[in-house]
Every structure is written in structure tokens, then in C-alpha cells.
Amino acid sequence: MDRHRGVATEPLPPLRSRLLGAWDALLVFAGDAPPERLAELAELGSWPERPVLARLMAQAAGERPGPEPERLDHRADRPAALLAALAEARTRTAEALERIAERPELALVSADSALGPLPLLTQVHAMGHELALAAIRCGSGGGSGGRGVAPAPVPAAVTDAGVAAMVDVVGALACRQGLRVAAGIWGEGTGGWSFRAGPDGWRTLPGRPDDVPGVEGAAATVLGVPAGRGALPALLARGELRLHRIGGLMALAPLVEQVPGLPGGALLRRAVGMVGLLGRLPGVR
């Protein structure tokens, strides 16, 4: 596992296809979204005062970014402006990936993030998680409860990129904590992603190894598990989520306890903290 850094040391073309494919699907999804829900995607846009990835790419290139600009609230902007900002963000993502393709050494440059230092390409890829979460909020009507409207299905390309990003970042953080652990997230039946981490590195791969603990369920359900104490048991009892080899999830305990803002933290924290209870619920294997 030495020198493996998840997707950052895997071939770039599949990552580029997955992330830009998620952006393309999101743009179609956004174009079909009711205007009152489109605001949930505003944070994903590239705005004049906050161009997407600019500070991250500058830091990786050894430049000194200026002061962090004020974060303006664009949720009330007109739909045309929101859609244009999303399209610009997709363009900037493609440009960042092209720059990394031209200078492969940038992929593994450690750059600051809200979760601490992580490789540049790990962070660019992690954008897929942000896309998926925002699309889930948009499709469900965000905090409005949907006003009686059925949730809009989030494109599979977006949720797959979200799961891949979540799994990869958790693997990176497990490696940084010196943990030897493996875990995965799988869609209904087939597909999904898993990681294996150790003190020297981590690998993030598509598929479903038989010996890896993890969570199975619709990707939008897995990604959207709320932090409420009763959410996870209810999803398990209804069969919307299934946990496999749950004893192995205990190896993640140091991570979920020590890393605020962990992607998927609500799900992992509740799973790790309730292993005894979950073992008596339907859907646990």
C-alpha cells in the first residue's frame, strides 16, 4: 500500500470522466429544477468574488492566495445567474483537471482543507460529495420539506461521484490517523466503492469486496442520512439501509470521534456508536 494515495494515484482519465460527468448531470438536473429549489445549488457556483478551485490551485502551485474573500449569499439570485455560475464552476473544474494532467506532480501536493492537509487531487475529486449533497437537498426541497412535492431523483452520475468522493476522503483521513481499516458503500445489489487504509497509504476502488465492512442502500439515502439520533435505526428497520460486517466498522471509532466535519460523519458516527443495538435490528449482517 506504500505510496498509494487513493484516487490521486490512480489514472486520471476515469476520475476526470466521473467528476465532469457528475457536473454535466447536475447541470441538466439544475435546468429542470423549480426556481425555488435552485437556491440549494448556489454554493456550488463559481462567483466573481469566489471562483471555484482558484485558491486551492494557487496554493498547490506555490502561490500565495490573498485574503479569504467574503462569502456572499447568492441563493436569492435569479435562476439564470445561478445556472451560469454552475456552468462556470464546471468549466473551472475541467481547467483544474487539465492543469493537473499537464503537471502530474500537482496531484499529490498537500493543500489545506477544512479537514486538514490533503492531496490536491483528493480535494478536487471531493467536489463530487458536495455536488451530491446539494443535489439531494435541491431534489427534496431543502429545508422547506418539499411543500408536498415528491423529491426529484438525483442523477446516478451525481450520487456515484458523491459516494466515491466520500469513501476516498474517509480513506485519506484514516491513513492520516494511522489506522488500518477498510470500509465501503454499495448501491442496491451491485456497484459502489470501498477503501483500504494503513499508516502508509490508502486505496480507493470501485466494486464490492466480500471481506470489507460497509453500508448498502440507495446512494442518495446513504449520503443523506441526517444527524438525528433516531434516523439510522429507522432506516435500518425499514430496510432502506443494511450494514455488513459491522464489527469491522468499530475500527473507524478513532476517526469519527476525532475528525469534525467528516464526510458521512452522521452515518458513521451513529453506526460506530450503536453496534450493540444495531446487531439486533433487521437488515444487519
Question: 51: which DSSP letter?
Answer: -
pLDDT block averages, 10 residues each, the chain of length 285: 86 97 98 93 93 91 78 89 97 97 95 90 95 92 50 89 93 92 79 91 92 88 70 81 79 73 70 46 35
**Residue found by looking up cell 505510496 in the block:** 3
pLDDT the model gives residue 245: 82
Burial 37-56 (b: 16+ CB within 10 A, else e): bbbbbbbbbbbeebebbebb
* pLDDT at res. 14: 96
Phi then psi dihedrals of residue 204, to 5 deg: -125, 120
| pTM for the predicted model, two decimal places | 0.87
At residue 133, the pLDDT reads 92
pLDDT for residue 152: 81
So what's the pLDDT on residue 285? 35
DSSP string for 90-132: HHHHHHHHHHHHHSGGGGG-EE--TTS-EEHHHHHHTHHHHHH
Give the per-residue pLDDT at 2: 55
Residues 5, 81: Cα–Cα separation, whole Å: 37
Q: What are the grid coordinates assigned to 195, written together?
A: 477503501
Report how far residue 247's alpha carbon sits from residue 244's, in angstroms, rounded to the nearest whole number.
Answer: 9
pLDDT of residue 147: 47
